């Protein structure tokens, strides 16, 4: 039986996540507290691993109840703690010094800051997929790959690439159920695993994207029938909640069931 093996939320977009035993679905379909904060530069652009390699070496802890964020530079001892609501200028000052340019910490408690604004629901992947992909790369462990992918919900007791069942054709949407909540799988998302450095050890790991694409083409040729070539290097599944599910929860151990495949009114494959 496929089930929820783990749940992670990422309080600050692009930074470390925290493991939780359950998560609340907001009216938007997003998970409460997931990517609700984001670091932006003066131009309003997100500061993330794609634009600034310094993000890889910034470690974060987060106390959800107290709204206390802990920040430290990797491989250093000192950690700095701030209350997100009362000490935000202090957080921004610390981060600005770290990055070497002014930044702001912005917040959206309704939808968070998802990569795909049309699919703000939790991102899905199987634990077996994470383990399989990690095995393709030297010196990349399962936890490191998990950190790079930053998926919200991992599915257990399924084979690698089980989540490919959630990829409908270009004009299809797959509905599935986790516990009592119905989701729609919209498209495969592109995570930040494609950075050229191991975030736990400061060593180069070149050609991750090329190797991932080659492996996927080799072991999953059927995907070519459904997706354009630019869909390779995408592993996690983006979702949305089609019906009002505000304040419902998903829990570790919830059963996962694929319900149906239906035609979509719009082509949901991103460019």
**How many other CB atoms sit within 10 Å of the CB of residue 130?**
24
What are residue 127's phi and psi, to 5 degrees?
-60, -35
Q: What's the whole-model pTM score? A: 0.85
Give the residue from 160, 134, 147 showing the smallest Cα distance to 191.
147
CA angle 85, 90, 96 (to 5 degrees): 125
Q: How far apart are CA 85 and CA 23, in angstroms?
A: 21
Per the CB < 8 A criterion, the answer to whether 182 and 259 are in contact is yes
Q: 209-229: per-residue pLDDT in tens?
A: 666 667 666 665 555 444 443
Q: 36-71: per-residue pLDDT in tens?
A: 999 999 999 999 988 898 999 999 999 999 999 999
Q: How far is CA 186 from the centre of its chain?
A: 15
Q: How far apart are CA 185 and CA 139, in angstroms?
A: 32
Q: Give the pLDDT of the chain (271 residues) as one tens digit per residue.
A: 999 999 999 999 999 999 999 999 999 999 999 999 999 999 999 999 888 989 999 999 999 999 999 999 999 999 999 999 999 999 999 999 999 999 999 999 999 999 888 889 999 999 999 998 888 888 889 998 898 889 999 999 999 889 888 876 667 788 999 999 999 987 676 555 444 344 444 444 445 566 666 766 666 555 544 444 344 446 789 999 987 777 899 999 999 999 988 766 544 433 3
Give the residue from 164, 159, 141 showing the smallest Cα distance to 236.
164
Q: Write down the pLDDT at residue 209.
A: 62
Q: Write down the pLDDT at residue 213.
A: 65
Q: How far apart are CA 25 and CA 32, in angstroms?
A: 6
Q: Write down the pLDDT at residue 231.
A: 45
Q: How far apart are CA 193 and CA 146, in angstroms?
A: 9
Q: How far apart are CA 201 and CA 57, in angstroms?
A: 9
Per the CB < 8 A criterion, the answer to whether 105 and 97 are in contact is no
What are residue 8's phi and psi, to 5 degrees?
-130, 140
Q: Write out the H or E segment, with its range, that includes residue 242.
A: none
Handedness of CA 22, 26, 27, 28 (dihedral sign): negative
Report the SS3 class of residue 18.
strand
């Amino acid at each position: 039986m496929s089930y929820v093996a783990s749940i992670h939320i990422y309080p600050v977009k692009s930074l470390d996540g925290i493991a939780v035993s359950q998560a609340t679905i907001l009216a938007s379909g997003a998970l409460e507290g997931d990517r609700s904060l984001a670091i932006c530069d003066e131009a309003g652009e997100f500061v993330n691993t794609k634009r600034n390699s310094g993000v890889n070496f910034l470690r974060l802890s987060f106390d959800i109840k107290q709204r206390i964020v802990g920040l430290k530079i990797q491989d250093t001892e000192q950690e700095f703690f701030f209350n997100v609501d009362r000490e935000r200028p202090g957080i921004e000052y610390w981060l600005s010094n770290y990055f070497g340019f002014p930044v702001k910490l912005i917040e959206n408690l309704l939808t968070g800051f998802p990569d795909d604004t049309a699919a703000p629901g939790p991102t899905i992947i199987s634990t077996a997929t994470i383990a399989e992909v990690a095995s393709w790369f030297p010196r990349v462990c399962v936890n490191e790959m998990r950190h790079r992918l930053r998926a919200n919900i991992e599915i257990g007791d399924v084979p690698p690439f089980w989540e490919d069942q959630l990829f409908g054709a270009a004009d299809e949407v797959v509905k599935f159920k986790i516990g009592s909540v119905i989701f729609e799988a919209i498209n495969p998302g592109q995570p930040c695993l494609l950075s050229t450095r191991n975030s736990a050890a400061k060593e180069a790991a070149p050609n991750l994207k090329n190797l991932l694409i080659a492996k996927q083409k080799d072991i999953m040729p059927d995907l070519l029938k459904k997706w354009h070539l630019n869909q390779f290097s995408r592993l996690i599944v983006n979702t949305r909640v089609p019906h009002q599910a505000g304040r419902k929860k998903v829990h570790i151990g919830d059963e996962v069931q694929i319900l149906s495949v239906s035609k979509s009114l719009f082509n949901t494959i991103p460019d």
